[in-house]
Amino acid sequence: MSKDEDFPQPPDLDQMPRFAGIATFMRLPLVSDLKKLDIALIGVPCDGGSTNRAGARHGPREIRNMSSLIRRVNPASGIAPFDLCRVGDVGDAPVNPIDIADALARIQAFFEALAAAGVVPLGAGGDHLVTLPILRAIATERPLGLVQFDAHSDTVDSYFGGQRYTHGTPFRRAVEEKLIDPARTVQIGIRGSLFSSDEMAFARQGGMRLISIEEFYELGIDAVIAEARRVVGDGPAYVSFDVDGLDPVYASGTGTPEVGGFSTHEAQRMIRGLRGLDLVGADVVEVAPPFDLGGVTALAAANIMFELLCVLADATARRGAG
């Protein structure tokens, strides 16, 4: 079925039903030789930045488990990512559940090795703080554009008397460290009660484009997609999908659920709408399996990951890697 032998594929269904076999991402082979890959799927089992309900450390495993249901071709876009690029599971980044600073360093080093090998990363968290070391590893030349699906802006300055590295702060740090360009950043799905009425000041004043869930429904999906594409523009961009952007009925298994979010169908359509952007990496974060119900959140995350893979593979192939 594959383009050629070097393109990793899931096992043949006639020998191995989807419920069988080791649970890697999308039933792909485990690959340790980075030279054999264009795109790597990576778990980042770190939730040391969680200020609320913990458990995202268990996310990668359950996303892998539910991703067994994923097949090979996207029915809406026709993209067959495993034919466009060499895609494999490279396992989990090393972490440290006791020391968040050390964990960030370990994660960054792992993604730097991927970047050095020219491999495009698609990560599965972990809490949203894991996006920071990923960006540190790949945004080495200039700030990236960012499409962030999320209920929260995650641009708080600090918590708990000065903690600057939590899952509520990554994008403030990323702006400060010039990893992302606020003027090329769009945040979609923002909602949830606020600690104070000026909580979004950094994001808004810094030039980020915030689309609240109210504006999302007012504009409609097509206009939201157009706006996201306008903001991000032609330069290299990253996509970060926090599952709490989804309504809790699609993603109850998360640390900070907020009622009134968008649906998985709407998420699928929005990600498909990013096709053509110069995407250089992506992640899905904040799946907390201990709070999940029957794997519904992990299933959503696995499908989101597949949608992200399709547009990443398309972008990667266009850049000449495929």
Helix pair angle (100-116, 131-138), 10° resolution: 40
CB 37 within 8 A of CB 86: yes
Query: Which residue stretch of 233-241, 275-283, 287-295, 312-320 sits at the interface with a copy of itself (rule: CB under 8 A)?
Result: 287-295
CB 179 within 8 A of CB 136: yes
Query: Which residue stretch of 90-98, 178-186, 279-287, 313-321 sits at the interface with a copy of itself (rule: CB under 8 A)?
Result: 90-98
Task: Establish if 254 lies at the interface with a copy of itself (CB under 8 A).
Answer: no
Find, among 238, 273, 261, 58, the residue nearest to 150 by Cα. Answer: 261
Pick 183 or 317: Cβ nearer a copy of itself: 317
Pick 58 or 184: Cβ nearer a copy of itself: 58
Pick from 108, 148, 185, 268 the residue near a copy of itself by CB under 8 A. 268
Site for a copy of itself in 177-196 (CB under 8 A): 190-196
Pick from 3, 9, 34, 91 the residue near a copy of itself by CB under 8 A. 91
Task: Establish if 235 lies at the interface with a copy of itself (CB under 8 A).
Answer: no
To which H or E segment does residue 225 belong? helix 221-232
* Minimum distance from residue 163 beta carbon to a copy of itself (Å): 4
83: left (phi over 0), alpha (psi -120 to 50) or beta: alpha
Report d(CA 55, CA 45) in Å as an integer: 9
Pick 3 or 53: Cβ nearer a copy of itself: 53
* Minimum distance from residue 278 beta carbon to a copy of itself (Å): 25
Bridge pairing between strands 236-242 and 209-212: unpaired
